């Protein structure tokens, strides 16, 4: 006779794109509180304008602006 309770069920494969429930969420933070997001945003916009307002490089402009601000703080 077949008893479903005694049969071992295969474990589902973990999804590589989902963090396990016991893993704390990682939150990106700016390294220095003195680095204002408003100032970075303004500088990133200046970089965007200097490139002729071409689309598709917003993240690079933001990171470049952040690097400039961090170098100035040293």
- Segment 16-49, tens digit of pLDDT: 666 666 656 665 555 555 678 999 999 999 999 9
Question: 49: which residues sit within 8 A by CB, 6+ positions away?
Answer: none
Within a domain: residue 53? Answer: yes
Going through the chain in order, the beta strands assigned E by DSSP cover none
Within a domain: residue 62? Answer: yes
Domain that holds residue 65: 37-73
Q: How many domains does the chain divide into? A: 1
Within a domain: residue 22? Answer: no
Within a domain: residue 11? Answer: no
What is the pLDDT at residue 10?
Answer: 76
Dist CA 74 CA 64 (whole Å): 16
Model confidence, pTM: 0.53
Within a domain: residue 52? Answer: yes
């Amino acid at each position: 006779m077949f008893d479903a309770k005694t049969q071992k069920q295969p474990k589902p494969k973990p999804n590589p794109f989902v963090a396990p429930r016991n893993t704390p969420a990682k939150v990106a933070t700016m390294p220095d509180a003195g680095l204002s997001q408003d100032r970075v945003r303004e500088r990133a916009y200046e970089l965007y304008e200097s490139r002729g307002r071409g689309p598709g490089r917003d993240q690079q402009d933001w990171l470049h602006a952040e690097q400039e601000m961090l170098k100035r703080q040293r």
